[in-house]
Amino acid sequence: MTCSKIFSGDLPEITYDIIKYFKDDISTLYSCVLVNRFWCRLAIPLLWNNPFSIPTRNCKFIETYLHHLNDDLKAKLNEYKINDNIFPPNTLFNYTIFLKQLHTRKVIFSIEKWSKDVKILKPKSRSISNFKRLVHMSLIQIFIENEVKLHTLDIQITNYNCYDSYIDDILDLMLENPNFFHKIKNLKVCFINSSYNDHNNRISQIINLHQNLKKIILGYKSFPLYQSLLLSNDYNRTNTLNTIVFYHINFNGIINLNKVFEQLNGLESVHIIYCYSLCAGFIKQIIKLTKPFKVKSLYFGENFQIDEYIHLFLQKFGDYMENFGFRFGVDLLSEQQLLELITKYCKNIKFLDLIISENRIVYTLFNLIENINQNLKYLSITILNNSQASEHSSIILRNLGQILPNKLEYLNLVLNINIDDFEIFLKNSQDTFIEKFLIDNRGCRDVLSCAKEYIMKEKRVKYLAIRDYRNYNKMDLYFLKEEKKEFELYDIEIQKYNDLVIGSKLNFVKELEDI
């Protein structure tokens, strides 16, 4: 086998496999396009299968799509007196046919970004919002007319900025052309909105027409408002829906939960993230269900009391629990009791995310980490910033290092760091390799010199982020250019703390479940 054969296209399958390996490396794919025609034909479909999700400085690709507008839509856009150069005179490919993933939210955000750079000499009677709405509709129409064969359609109902005002237009257009989406392999529907009733009729129609709804996210409403959506006689939906995420759902007043779950024959996993009235509503009923499924995430976000129902819930679903955490508002006694129950019943936790506010909780946490040591991949510990924060941070740093697993994908420590304690932690954890290590130092001592000695020189981390409220420019190591270069010499990439931190548990679960 020679390189010349690969470059000449004599081995197309191998060449495609090589290029496909770089499907997420946009700059490399652009370089492949320039090699020769053969490589160009292989790389272009990968570049254009989901362009709305590519982080880019501009969204000029929208203009390439607009080249395929029909005459009627071009005439409507021209009423806004836009620059004639907005429509490319010709294109090398029909790029629309390569589209495989369509995310309604990302389409709308891309158009918002693109429209800021478009010069419009609009008549007074025409608004920029109407122009953007027309572009939204035009793009969907282009995809429909070109019979795009989507693999994934992600419909997100949310109240982000302009989003809500355009989503109904898109849904109506899709409903007028059911062949466009009803054979899509992966339909994802996400409700994170206080106005679900404004869209429920359209969404219900789309779900009823679709043959393969697999995952759904329900959020920010009382559960009874979603009950009618889940209660369906549709054979396909009851057999294909395998994942439900409940996000900030109020389960107060919930009834007949068994009717919803018992009919979902394909249900495999449930995620519960910062929901309300769990004990009084949801948990009391879910422990009685006979349908086999896994509760894989449990994040508490309100005051709660440990009772027999929490105990029975963890006893039933604890073996399946992969993601667990709680944040502000939990009383100390409940915190300790809950961690003891998690330690007893949940042996397979991969992501542990806790806010610690009392010494008793710290020692209970150590027992939990030792219990899940071989499965733990993501760990985030935040010390509540109070009069005892320094004492609690010291206990964490002096004891945590020796109980960590040999490898962690992610470690985030939000502590009041004493440099001597930090040095002890780094020495005790020297056998642990950490893919992403984040330090949010709220103490009064600079941790950088210690990080250089025990992290940089020993090459124990791949990505590092340090935020220090006292010393660093803009509170972030990323902005210290010389120090950043020094770490890079040891193959450690410095990133912004806010870019590396897992802030949204919903986004983490969405990525985990490919939602």
**Is the pLDDT assigned to residue 340 strictly greater than 60?**
yes
Same domain for 16 and 106: no
C-alpha to C-alpha distance for 41 and 193, rounded to whole angstroms? 41
Regarding whether 59 and 43 lie in a shared domain, the answer is no
Of 290 and 353, the structure prediction assigns the larger pLDDT to 353
389-447 residue pLDDT tens = 888 899 999 999 999 999 999 999 999 998 999 999 999 999 999 999 999 998 767 78
The pLDDT-based confidence of 1 (bands split at 50, 70, 90) is very low
Q: Which of 248-257, 310-319, 493-502 has the lowest mean pLDDT?
A: 248-257
Q: Report the pLDDT averaged over residues 380-397.
A: 86
Is it the case that residue 346 has pLDDT exceeding 80? yes
- Mean pLDDT for the stretch of residues 181-192: 68
Q: How far is CA 495 from CA 68, 394, 410, in A?
A: 40, 26, 13
pLDDT at 120 over 80: no
Report the length, in residues, of the chain.
Answer: 515
Distances, alpha carbon 245 to alpha carbons 275, 328, 334, 510, in Å: 11, 22, 25, 9
Classify residue 313: in a domain, yes or no.
Answer: no
What pLDDT does residue 126 have? 58
Question: Which residue, 208, 226, 209, 101, is CA-closest to 154?
Answer: 101
4 lies in a domain? yes
What stretch of H or E contains 260?
Answer: helix 257-262
On whether residue 162 sits in a domain, the answer given is yes
**Is the pLDDT reported for residue 380 higher than 80?**
yes
Q: What is the pLDDT of residue 485?
A: 92
Classify the phi-psi angles of 172: left when phi > 0, otherwise alpha if psi is within -120 to 50, otherwise beta.
alpha
Nearest to 192 by CA among 170, 228, 167: 167
Residue 88 lies in a domain: yes
Nearest alpha-carbon partner for 413 in 487, 361, 468? 468
- Whether residues 80 and 177 share a domain: the answer is yes
- Domain end point (choices 187, 216, 245): 187
| Residues 170, 55 share a domain | yes
Establish if 368 belongs to a structural domain: no
- DSSP symbols for 153-186: EEEEEE-STTHHHHHHHHHHHHHH-GGGTTT-SE
Of 193 and 53, the structure prediction assigns the larger pLDDT to 53
State whether the Cα torsion 183-110-505-229 is positive or negative: negative
Q: 287 in the Ramachandran plot: left (φ > 0), alpha (ψ -120 to 50) or beta?
A: alpha
The reply to whether 386 and 502 lie within a common domain is yes
Reply yes or no on whether the pLDDT at 482 is more than 70: yes
List Cβ neighbours of 265 (8 Å cut-off, separation of 6 or more): 238, 239
Same domain assignment for residues 39 and 114:
no
| Stronger pLDDT, 298 or 156, i.e. the higher one | 298
Residue 377 has pLDDT above 80, yes or no: yes
Q: Describe the crossing of helices 12-20 and 37-47 by its angle, rounded to 10 degrees.
A: 40
Q: Do 36 and 61 belong to one domain? A: no
Distance CA(140)–CA(174), nearest Å, equals: 8
The confidence score (pLDDT) of residue 492 equals 93
Pairwise CA distance, residues 112 & 166, whole Å: 12
399 lies in the same domain as 442: yes
- Residue 353 pairs in a beta bridge with 325, 380
- Helix, strand, coil abundance in the chain, percent, nearest 5: 50, 20, 35
Contact between 273 and 505 (Cβ < 8 Å): yes
Residue 419: give the domain boundaries.
Answer: 377-515
pTM over 0.95: no
* Residue 199 included in any domain: no
d(CA 444, CA 229): 53
**Considering the domain boundaries, does residue 146 fall inside one?**
yes
Q: Are 34 and 60 found together in one domain?
A: no
Considering 187, 211, 231, which residue would you say is the last residue of a domain? 187
Average pLDDT over residues 201-230: 69
Co-location of 35 and 61 in the same domain: no
Distance of CA 143 to the CA centre of its chain: 26
State the pLDDT at residue 6: 46
pLDDT at position 148, please? 86
**Domain count for the chain:** 3
d(CA 176, CA 171): 9
Question: 69-83, 178-192, 260-274, 429-443: which has the minimum mean pLDDT?
Answer: 178-192
State in Å, rounded, how far the first CA of the chain is from the last one.
41
Would 361 be classed as within a structural domain? no
Q: Are residues 382 and 512 in the same domain?
A: yes
Mark whether 27 and 155 lie in a shared domain: no
Three-state DSSP at 410 gives: strand
* Residue 225: its H or E element: helix 224-230
* Placement of tokens 């340090």 in the chain: 466
**Is it the case that residue 383 has pLDDT exceeding 60?**
yes
Q: How confident is the model at residue 235 (pLDDT cuts 50, 70, 90)?
A: very low
**pLDDT of amino acid 2:** 46
